[in-house]
Structure 1
């Protein structure tokens, strides 16, 4: 699926760099589709946290990549290094998809790539980003924003969400879920979910809803209600809502709808089932209801989504040896 270049410089945050490498460099077990070729690009040697890192290539190699990942910077009080800014700008001009993790958004903003576009960064730095780059439409309340060939994320766990989102765009939800399971992280969180300012992302089995989530996923075809979820979780509806807000950043019904939509996407990607059939097995009832929810959430009708995905995952005879093309997708960061 093309080359992923990690753009590094002195003072990069090692967590974001490491998670990006882990997502894109390790081929998941059982996955037979062509996987990413990962390269690390930067000056001769850089300091990442307390570690010394020797990149594979110089920053000029970014312009040859299909996807460029810009990890966060530890110090955003100073302007990002000029050579990094120029290399990232040149890579995007050459056709690369560019994604920033956490405060890496300051690099994209300095390059002028985010002018007139929605973007986000770690909640602690959104005001600074907006003040220094007033032409950027900074959204402090989302996990990540997808502008097609330009993507930005909030910090830490949201950086993982964005990396999995990219895998999902490239390979579909089934493979993205496989990667998430290997890393023992939630398979998908919408970009429009609120940033968790004080609540950390829980371990998979370390929160009150851990047993409820898989129970719901196995019953998406059923007409589940908040009462059903409360009874299964053995708590009141009010208590359930409070836990859902803490763990997922949203309400029980909105979370449930999101799971139905994601399951529908997977079926659209991997089967030839009719819209009526998919609507039934995902619990959305009728094709009309599914189309309404799907269009509002994803940004395109399910039929269009299926055609777009399949045209993207079935390369034609002229694709060999050429840069992988990433069609413009709906701005999924707008899903609330």
Structure 2
């Protein structure tokens, strides 16, 4: 079992004043990477080099009792203390992980979260840790960031919040919710920068061999698109395409891998997906290029190559045909422009006759009002997650091999 350095934690005699204190609440089957990413950022920011003394930062692992808590990978972590005085901390970070329909939360955990909220302590829900905040009735009417994978679970369980699945993390009042995974690293860097300054955050990231943190509004990577496809051969073909976007495979090779002839695969793929394999691959690659343009510093030439296009002119032509603007516009305007373009694309897909909009070449800030498609017939607003999910990706997502 892991105690994660509880035996260390001795500040030096001339330790600087602590500027950041975090209490971790690990839910059963929590994701280890989400916990360790934030923990290591605090550890490295707290001291000089990587000596790991809690001088500028302090942390603790809290639980209803001192029984070991199992991560989703099987590793067990011993809590350091039971719940007490949440006002000691600048943040309570709740780390979730695996869930199912029978998942419940310890009453003492929910009570502790309510106490922390009443004391004005900031609370962060990481991965499905946000579900515990919702269960404690702390998130009504608030934005709640969740990974694309767990978006259907969130909507099914809690209909009284605003789901966000197109960002890495979201701050809404005293509550921060994070998609989990490596986005926890970005959240940890945000916390350190807010309390200790950008130098400390950058120092920690450099020691962890990464160059910079992504902003809260950075887009989540695109999800797999085959979750609701029942035909296992088609699911495998879709997965092969998605795993090889930079180097597209020949249809013959994909068909051989899934155990079909080329003609058989083409026929069943079009029947199930509604488009040819080539069209499906092209759509994925152009949307991947869109995501890279908005969320990386790569040149447009490199983006085209990494998206599987043989030359930049081919990428530019297809990008303009799909979105009505040049890739350079997204490079200039960033993630918000990406969301606007996807809204625009959705509007043309859902119209009975795809319309050429009068604002085709309008500057980006004008697009949002001009292309925002009407919501559902009931008048309810469309979840923010839809803005980052093209029509052919609008399916329930689950593992498919």
How far apart in 1 are the matches of 2:330 and 2:205? 21
Deviation at 1:159, TM superposition (A): 1.8
The match for 2:78 is 54
Cα distance in 1 between the residues matched to 2:214 and 2:207: 17
- Secondary structure of 2:128's counterpart equals helix
Structure 2 residue aligned with 1:80: 105
Find the aligned partners of 2:80 and 2:318 in 1 and give their Cα distance.
47
CA deviation profile, 1:48-86 (whole Å, cap 9, x unmatched): 222232211112243431111111232243122222121
Separation (CA, whole Å) in 2 of partners of 1:85 and 1:97: 15
Q: Structure 1 unaligned runs (5+)?
A: 201-207, 218-224, 244-250, 260-292, 294-332
Residues 264-302 of structure 1, C-alpha deviations (whole Å, 9 max, x = no match): xxxxxxxxxxxxxxxxxxxxxxxxxxxxx9xxxxxxxxx
Determine the structure 1 residue equivalent to 2:66: 44
**Residues 83 and 112 of structure 2 are in contact (CA less than 8 Å); yes or no, is this contact kept in structure 1?**
yes
The aligned residue for residue 172 of structure 1 is 197
Shift of 1:151: 0.5
CA 1:136/1:255 → structure 2, altered by over 3 Å: closer, same or farther? same
- 1:311 maps to none
**Counterparts of 1:228 and 1:132, CA distance in 2:** 42
> 2:153 — aligned with what?
128
- Is 1:18–2:36 an aligned residue pair? yes
- Is the Cα–Cα contact under 8 Å of residues 7 and 62 in structure 1 kept in the other structure? no
Q: Which moved more, 1:114-123 or 1:1-10?
A: 1-10
Residue of structure 2 in register with 1:181 after alignment: 206
> 1:9 and 1:229 mapped to 2: Cα distance?
39
- Which whole-Å CA distance do the structure 1 matches of 2:122 and 2:332 have between them? 31
C-alpha displacement at 1:34, in angstroms?
6.1
What is the TM-score with the length of structure 1 in the denominator? 0.59
Matches within 5 A, 1:301-312: none
User: Any idea what SS the aligned residue of 1:37 has?
Assistant: strand
- Paired residues of 2:26 and 2:62 also in contact (CA < 8 A): yes
Scaled by the length of structure 2, the TM-score of the pair is: 0.50
Report the Cα offset of residue 98 of structure 1.
Answer: 0.8
Q: Which residue of 1 aligns with 2:312?
A: 236
Paired residues for 1:284-299 under 5 Å: none
Whether 2:180 is the aligned partner of 1:155: answer: yes
The 1:172–1:131 alpha-carbon spacing in structure 2 relative to 1, beyond 3 Å, is same
- How many residues are matched? 237
Q: Distance in 1 between matches of 2:48 and 2:314?
A: 41
How far, CA to CA, are the matches of 2:217 and 2:152 in structure 1?
18
Work out whether 1:94 is the aligned partner of 2:115: no
State the Cα deviation string for residues 129-180 of structure 1 (Å, max 9, x = none). 1221111111122211112421111120112222222222223333322222
Matched residues in 2 for 1:137 and 1:112: separation? 14
CA gap of 1:89–1:185, structure 2 versus 1, over 3 A, is farther
Alignment root-mean-square deviation, CA: 4.1
Equivalents in 2 of 1:241, 1:195: separation in Å?
Answer: 25
Q: Deviations over 1:211-254 (max 9, x none)?
A: x9xxx79xxxxxxx968998xxx9626659999xxxxxxx6655
8 Å contact from structure 1 (residues 8, 46) kept in 2 = no
* Residues 30-56 of structure 1, C-alpha deviations (whole Å, 9 max, x = no match): 69x962111111121223222232211
For residue 193 of structure 2, give the secondary structure of its aligned residue in structure 1: helix
